[in-house]
Amino acid sequence: MNEVYIIGLGMIRFNKYPDRDVQDMAHEVTRMALADAGVEKQALNAAFFANTFWGMFSNQHSIRGQVALRSMGIDAIPVTNVENACAGASTALHMAYSQVRAGMHEVVLALGAEKISNPNKAMSLGAYAACMDVGNFEAHLKMLEKMNSQFTIQIPDDQTPAGEGRSVFMDAYAMGARWHMSKYGSTQEQLAAICAKNHWHGSLNPLSQYQQDMSVEAVLADRPVAYPLTRAMCSPVGDGAAAAIVCSKSFLKKLTNPRPIRIRASILGTGTDRGLDGTDIGERLVKQAYNVAGLGPEEINLAELHDATAYGELHQTEAMGFCPPGEGGIHALEGHTKIGGKQPINTSGGLECRGHPIGASGLAQIYELGLQLRGDAGKRQVPNARLGLAENGGGNIGVEEAAMCIHILEKG
């Protein structure tokens, strides 16, 4: 099997862009990745294009990648469309990695672009429900209600707003947080500490959608969304794109001044029908990733974790093995996950602050790790960064993600 390297990265700031479309953003990051790699578009052997909502919002279904890439002069090569909810972009990278590793191609583009902001806010928020089992949606809501009734956490009267103005995923994450609080005694203040840390990281990132620092007190005082989550703890709606170019070791040797990042492991998996106390998808997949990479969680220098809410980061910190179960909030409070701590998490600001345009988020994680491993992260640089992990979940069925990708990257 071939070794696989990332040689080019591109990303635009995630934000709300009323005057931009999916193609426009995809073109920009592809050109950035090609320039970063030092190759021309003619060098590409294949491409994988991730997007979730273009068809829903603009009726562009079926051939999204072909439409986006041919309009910038990339044609004839195999183009595969990838739709895997929030894990779409990381899945595109996994597929690009797999083809290079198998020797099918030498140079492959992984690209994710998404436009979610819309004048009709209800349409934007409602679209997220398509990332669940819509045929059994009512049964899923009843399951959540039943689980909620078993928790010991009482929801304050002033933090029980109606279910409008948020995506259904916020309710799912809130349920997970209340489960964790009931089982382990974690607190809303711990979630606020995670969020405040990410806002500080985001304030150092010029590509972050939110760039303002926030204190723990300010996070707690923000508008309630679904207890224990406040607005600041939840990822914003936005638009964006990110791209990566991967290649084989033999092609890497042909480049004049490469700045490669080796993909030590790339794992894609699917959730199960486990109960709340069953083995989590992240725990299952990260064991595979560590086994492929030949290392353990203590060797990871930094990580980008899927924090669509602050609870997402708390949970995944535990699932990735960075701290014992039940101690994710304590781990953050002690400063271990902050830049300067022993194992910084979400130095980009995470989904909470960098933003979460679904089809691009997974590659945005890879972009951040790439900057860090190259030593190009500026004010948020993690000293001596050599190994980085990215965990990117997608959709939801039952109590966990429908899909998930985990990548482990190494400084080249």
Identify the active-site residue in 306, 356, 405, 407.
356
pLDDT digits (tens, 9 = 90+) for 85-144: 999 999 999 999 999 999 999 999 999 999 999 888 888 878 888 888 888 878 877 777
Q: What does DSSP assign to residue 347?
A: T
Cβ pair 395, 129 in contact under 8 A: no
Average pLDDT (284-294) is 98
Taking the C-alpha atoms of 321, 323, 329 and 334 in order, what is their torsion angle to the nearest 10 degrees? -140
Q: Which residues contact 81 (CB under 8 A, 6 or more apart)?
A: 49, 51, 62, 63, 64, 65, 66
In one-letter notation, the amino acid at residue 213 is D
From 27, 86, 331, 353, active-site residue: 86
Q: Which is higher by pLDDT, 125 or 367?
A: 367
- CB–CB of 248/100 below 8 Å? yes
Listing DSSP states for 135-161 in one string gives GGHHHHHHHHHHHHTT--PPPPGGG--
Q: Is the pTM of this model over 0.75?
A: yes
Residue 52 has pLDDT above 90, yes or no: yes
Give pLDDT, residue 93: 99
Position 29 scores a pLDDT of 98
Active site (annotated) includes residue 180:
no
For residue 105, indicate whether it is catalytic: no
Report phi then psi at 410, rounded to 5: -130, 140
Distance set, CA 387 to CA 46, 353, 373 (Å): 27, 23, 7
pLDDT value at 157 more than 80: no
Task: Tell me the domains of the chain and their CATH numbers.
Answer: 4-119+238-262 (3.40.47.10), 124-236+265-411 (3.40.47.10)
Q: What percent of the chain has pLDDT over 70?
A: 98
Distances (CA, A) of 395 to 46, 199, 207, 270, 281: 26, 25, 25, 10, 12
Please say if the pLDDT value at position 279 is more than 80. yes
Q: pLDDT per residue over 232-273, tens digit each? A: 999 999 999 999 999 999 999 999 999 999 999 999 999 999
